[in-house]
Amino acid sequence: MRIDRTRLHDPVLAAVVAIVSMVLHTLDDPLIPASAGPRPPDGLGVALVAVAGVPVAFRRRWPLAALCAALVPGLLLTATGYGAGVPGLAGLVLLYSVASHRGLAMALGGLLVSLSAYALGTLAGPVRAAAWTDHVVVVILVTAVWGAGRSLRLRRAYLEELKDRAARLERAHAADTRAARAEERSRIARELHDVVAHHVSVMVVQAAAARRVLAADPALAGEALSAIEHTGRSAMAEMRTIVGVLRADARAELGPQPGVRDLPALVEQMREAGLPVRLLVEGEPRELPAGVDLAAYRLVQEGLTNSLRHAGAGAGAVVTVRHKPRELDVRVEDDGTGGAADGLTSGQGHGLVGIRERVALYGGILSIGPLPGGGFEVRARFPLKDGQ
C-alpha cells in the first residue's frame, strides 16, 4: 500500500508547533516584567498551549475554523494570568494558512479575528505591563504574516494562470495546426482532381480515337498513342510535384505551378485530343499574383475538360483572357449541344466545388451556365489590387 505523505505534513507541523509553544511557555515572557507577577507555568498552562497547537493539523482543510479554535486556548491563557500572546505561534501559522489557502474575504476575516482576539486578551487579562509600542510590534507582525500568506496565494494563482494560458495557447496552436493540415489536404485534393480529371479525360478521348483508326490508319493511331504517352507523363510530373510536399522523407520535385502563360500549351493539348480551341488574349499581359494565376489556369483546364467530355462531336471552344486595369476576366465558351452543362451544373464530383472555391478564395465572381444562342460558358472575374 502506498501512503500519501502529504497528509502527514500538517499533523507533524501541529506537533512541532505544540512542542515549541510549550517550550516558550516555560520561559519568561519578555513582554512582561517579573514585578507584574504573571502566573508561573504549570500543568494547566502547558495543557492549554498544547491544545492551541492541535488545530494546526487541520490548517488546509478548515483553516479559518482551526484559527478560531486555536484562539480560544489563547484567550483562556490570558484570562487566567499566564500572560498575553503565549500561544501566538499556532495563531500565526493558522493565520498564514487562512491567507494563503482562502479567498480575500475569508483571509480578511481571519486577520480581523486574530487582531480582535489579541485586543480582547490584552484588555481582559490581568497583566497589562506591556508598552503601547509592543502592541504595535505585535500588530505589525500579525499583518506581515497575513501579507506573506496573501502574497503566496497571489503568486500561486499567477502561476496557475500562466499554466492555463500556456495550455490554452498549446491547444490553440494544435487547433491551428490541424486546420492548416486540413486546408493543405483540401488544396492538394483539389489540385489532384484538376490534374487527374483533365489528363485522364484527354487520354480517354485519344485512346478512343486510336482504337477507331487502328486498323484503317496505323500511323494516325500511333500519333494518338504518342499523345497519350505525352499526356500521361505530364500528369505524372504534375502529380509528383503536388504530392511531393506530403513526403517528409523525400524532396519534392519542385517546379513552377502552371498559370496563364501556359494556356497556349493547354490549348494545343486539347486540339490534339480532338477539341478545336481558340485562344484570345486581350489587353496587356502582366505579372499576376501566383494564386490568381493558378486559379485562372485551373478554371480554363476544367472548362475545356468538360467541353471535351460533354459538348458533343464537332463542338469547338474559345478561351478568352482579358487583362483589365483592375480585373482579370477569364472565359471558356463552347458551341456544343448543351451537354457540357451536365458536367458542371449537376453538382456531382469536385469540379464545380473546386472552381467555386478557387474563385471565391480570391474574391472573384463566377458564372456558369448555357449561352442564349446555344453552347455553354464558364466565366470568372478576379479583382486585382494596385494593378496586380
Give the model's confidence band at 248: pLDDT under 50 very low, under 70 low, under 90 confident, else very high.
very low
Least reliable range by pLDDT among 13-17, 79-83, 212-216, 383-387:
79-83
Instruction: Give residue-wise pLDDT tens across range 333-384.
Output: 998 775 444 455 444 445 666 788 778 888 889 998 888 878 889 999 999 8
Q: What is the pLDDT of residue 184?
A: 61
Residue 387 grid cell: 494593378
In the predicted model, is pLDDT for residue 12 greater than 70?
yes
Q: What is the pLDDT of residue 331?
A: 94
Least reliable range by pLDDT among 126-135, 151-160, 252-261, 296-305:
126-135
- Beta 376-383 vs 365-370: how paired, if at all? antiparallel
CB 325 within 8 A of CB 383: no
In the predicted model, is pLDDT for residue 37 greater than 60?
no
Q: What is the pLDDT of residue 278?
A: 92
Mean pLDDT, residues 8-35 taken together: 66
Q: What is the DSSP string of 288-352?
A: --HHHHHHHHHHHHHHHHHHHHHS-TT--EEEEEEEETTEEEEEEEE-SSSTHHHHHHS--SSHH
Q: Is 205 exposed, middle or buried (0-12, 13-18, 19+ CB in 10 A)?
A: buried
The amino acid present at 363, given as its one-letter code, is G
Q: Is the pTM of this model over 0.75?
A: no
In the predicted model, is pLDDT for residue 255 greater than 60?
no
Q: Quote the mean pLDDT of the chain.
A: 76
Q: Look at phi and psi of residue 277 and say left if phi exceeds 0, alpha if psi is from -120 to 50, else beta.
A: beta
Give the Cβ contact number of residue 33 at 10 Å.
13
Q: What is the pLDDT of residue 33?
A: 43
Q: What percent of the chain is predicted at pLDDT more than 90?
A: 9
Q: What is the pLDDT of residue 233?
A: 76
Q: What percent of the chain is predicted at pLDDT more than 70?
A: 73
Q: What is the C-alpha to C-alpha distance for residues 164 and 170, in angstroms, rounded to an integer?
A: 10
